């Protein structure tokens, strides 16, 4: 697009300031900026006013799930069904790895964080170890789709290649990039990170499937005969991938989605909670729970909203395709967003100065017919690494890995 066309497009959305530095840019800079402006959704006002989150809207009630007792009683049956589906190549895995390890003091992809003590043990390495257990058990390779972001793509590919995918077969690994959305100030004006660059950030983990489709991977998924996708986060080193028992339980109970859950450790634990909203399974994210919901108890004295999701979901492919064009709610988060001033000065704010927009994978759940809440043992399957120290840190994860026999 030339200047005139860009101006015309921007005027419509009151974002003409994006061309403030345009005339001073060289041809490469002009092209780069123009490409970004063409690509982004400029209808920010619509984003800000979209339904924001689930909490407090609709009738929210507790939801009971499949508990350990029931799972253990039917374990063999579930496991056999899951193994069969994996051997028939019906299950694929999607690793959400777009995040950076900056909070853990490591620039670059979070999966590159080394949590070993006497040896190196990268987060990616541990996840592949977990996946290899299933390969060993079933004799079948589970195709892995790895979602990266603009900021982590090249480095992730390079790192995994260098390390020979930690023993996983290269033919079963495919990368795709998460899409980006613009950040805005409190007036809804798009922020710029540099004179030739908008401030963009990953669009949240809810965009994983549409990003996969936009990357042209639906054909790949379908040609492999995949019917189920197991989506999971990079930050839980005890994550079981394509767990045959979970896969089998979801299939045999006739559900079209499943969510692994743990009993919450305490009311304030920072996990999304599986519940019912307007009669359908839904997840309310921890920061959207009301104090009443957080503390409500059953007559037996247990938390009413006790199932915390560990970001490990199973989705049926045909349903994912069916809901592909359904809009997910946009979650608006106030953040500190670096930007350039009209004089070209780069500012790194110490206080929040604007909004980022995210779609969340948990908002997909109500779009499915029914979801199986599948209870897992926290000590065996949930060791998230979110913070440098304290709760959910490398230290807590190491303790849990040790408990599971991993040598650090
Ligand atoms: C948007 C999203 O998927 N949030 C997840 C995710 O939380 P974060 O704080 O965003 O890492 O991981 C939690 C489990 O570690 C899970 O309970 C929660 O629902």
Q: Tell me which H or E stretch contains 180.
A: strand 180-182
Residue 53: the pLDDT is: 47
Residue 28 — left, alpha, or beta (φ > 0 → left; ψ -120 to 50 → alpha)? alpha
Residue 294: the pLDDT is: 95
pLDDT in tens, 94-153: 999 998 887 788 889 999 999 999 999 999 999 999 999 999 999 999 999 999 998 899
Residue 86, in any domain of the structure: yes
- Asked if 229 contacts 220 with a C-beta cutoff of 8 angstroms, the reply is no
270 lines ligand 1 (CB under 6 A): yes
271 lines ligand 1 (CB under 6 A): yes
Residue 54: the pLDDT is: 42
How much distance in Å is there from the Cα of 343 to the middle of ligand 1? 39
Residue 50: the pLDDT is: 54
Full residue range of the structural domain in which residue 178 is found: 40-403
CATH number, residue 209: 3.90.550.10
DSSP string of 42-109, one letter each residue: --HHHHHHS---STTSS-EEE---B-HHHHHHTHHHHHHHHHHHHHTT-EEEEEE---B-GGGT--SB
Residue 14, in any domain of the structure: no
For atom 2 of ligand 1, the residue with the nearest CA is: 360
Q: Which of 233, 287, 378 to mutate to test the pocket of ligand 1 (most atoms within 8 A of CB)?
A: 233
**Is the full-model pTM beyond 0.90?**
yes
Residue 24, in any domain of the structure: no
Residue 70, in any domain of the structure: yes
Residue 5, in any domain of the structure: no
Cα–Cα distance for residue pair 199/183, rounded to 1 Å: 6
Number of folded domains that form the chain? 1
Residue 297: the pLDDT is: 95
Residue 163: the pLDDT is: 98
Residue 44: the pLDDT is: 81
Q: pLDDT under 50 in the chain at which residues?
A: 51, 53-56
Three-state SS at 174: strand
Which three-class secondary structure string do you get for 244-270?
A: HHHHHHHHHCCCCEEEEEEECCCCCCC
Residues with Cβ within 8 Å of 209's Cβ and at least 6 positions away in sequence, in order, are: 229, 315, 320, 324, 364
Rg (CA), the chain: 22
Residue 397, in any domain of the structure: yes
Q: Tell me which H or E stretch contains 335.
A: strand 331-335
How much distance in Å is there from the Cα of 362 to the middle of ligand 1? 9
For atom 11 of ligand 1, the residue with the nearest CA is: 386
Residue 68, in any domain of the structure: yes
Cα–Cα distance for residue pair 72/197, rounded to 1 Å: 54
Nearest residue to 210 (alpha-carbon basis) of 181, 245, 188, 168: 181
Residue 308, in any domain of the structure: yes
Nearest residue to 235 (alpha-carbon basis) of 405, 356, 115, 390: 115
- Pick the atom of ligand 1 nearest to 271's CA: 17
Residue 57: the pLDDT is: 67
- Asked if 175 contacts 169 with a C-beta cutoff of 8 angstroms, the reply is no
317 lines ligand 1 (CB under 6 A): no
Residue 216 main-chain phi, psi, to 5 deg: 80, 20
Residue 55: the pLDDT is: 44
Inter-axis angle of helices 123-138 and 75-87, to 10 degrees? 100
Please give the DSSP secondary-structure letter assigned to residue 403. Answer: H
309 lines ligand 1 (CB under 6 A): yes
Q: Which of 208, 259, 271 to mutate to test the pocket of ligand 1 (most atoms within 8 A of CB)?
A: 271
Model ipTM over 0.85: yes
């Amino acid at each position: 697009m030339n200047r005139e066309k860009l101006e015309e497009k921007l005027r419509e959305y009151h974002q003409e300031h994006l061309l403030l530095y345009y005339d001073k840019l060289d041809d490469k800079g002009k092209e780069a900026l123009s490409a970004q402006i063409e690509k982004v959704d400029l209808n920010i006002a619509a984003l800000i006013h979209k339904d924001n989150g689930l909490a407090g809207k609709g009738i929210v009630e507790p939801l009971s799930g499949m508990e350990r007792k029931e799972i253990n009683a039917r374990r063999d049956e579930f496991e056999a069904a899951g193994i069969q589906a994996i051997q028939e190549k019906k299950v694929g895995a999607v690793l959400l790895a777009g995040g950076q390890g900056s909070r853990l003091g490591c620039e670059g992809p979070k999966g590159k964080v080394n949590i070993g003590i006497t040896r190196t043990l990268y987060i990616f390495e541990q996840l592949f170890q977990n996946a290899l257990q299933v390969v060993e058990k079933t004799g079948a390779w589970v195709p892995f789709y790895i979602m990266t972001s603009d900021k982590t793509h090249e480095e992730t590919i390079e790192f995994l290649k260098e390390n020979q995918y930690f023993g996983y077969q290269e033919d079963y690994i495919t990368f795709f990039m998460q899409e980006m959305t613009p950040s805005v100030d409190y007036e809804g004006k798009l922020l710029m990170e540099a004179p030739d660059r908008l401030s963009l950030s990953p669009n949240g983990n809810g965009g994983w499937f549409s990003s996969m489709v936009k990357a042209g991977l639906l054909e790949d998924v379908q040609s492999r005969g995949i019917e189920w996708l197991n989506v999971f986060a990079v930050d839980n080193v005890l994550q079981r991938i394509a767990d045959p028992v979970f896969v089998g339980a979801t299939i045999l109970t006739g559900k079209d989605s499943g969510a692994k859950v743990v009993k919450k450790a305490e009311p304030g634990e920072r996990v999304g909670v599986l519940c019912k909203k307007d009669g359908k399974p839904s997840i309310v994210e921890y920061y959207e729970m009301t104090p009443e919901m957080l503390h409500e108890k059953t007559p037996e004295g247990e938390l009413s909203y006790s199932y915390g999701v560990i970001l490990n979901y199973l989705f049926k492919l045909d349903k994912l395709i069916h809901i592909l064009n359904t809009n997910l709610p946009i979650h608006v988060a106030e953040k500190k967003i670096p930007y350039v001033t009209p004089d070209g000065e780069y500012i790194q704010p110490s206080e929040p100065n604007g909004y980022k927009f995210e779609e969340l994978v948990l908002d997909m759940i109500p779009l499915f017919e029914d979801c199986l809440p599948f209870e897992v043992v926290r000590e065996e399957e949930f060791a998230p690494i979110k913070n440098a120290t304290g709760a959910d840190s490398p230290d807590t994860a190491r303790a849990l890995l040790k408990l599971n026999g991993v040598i650090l």
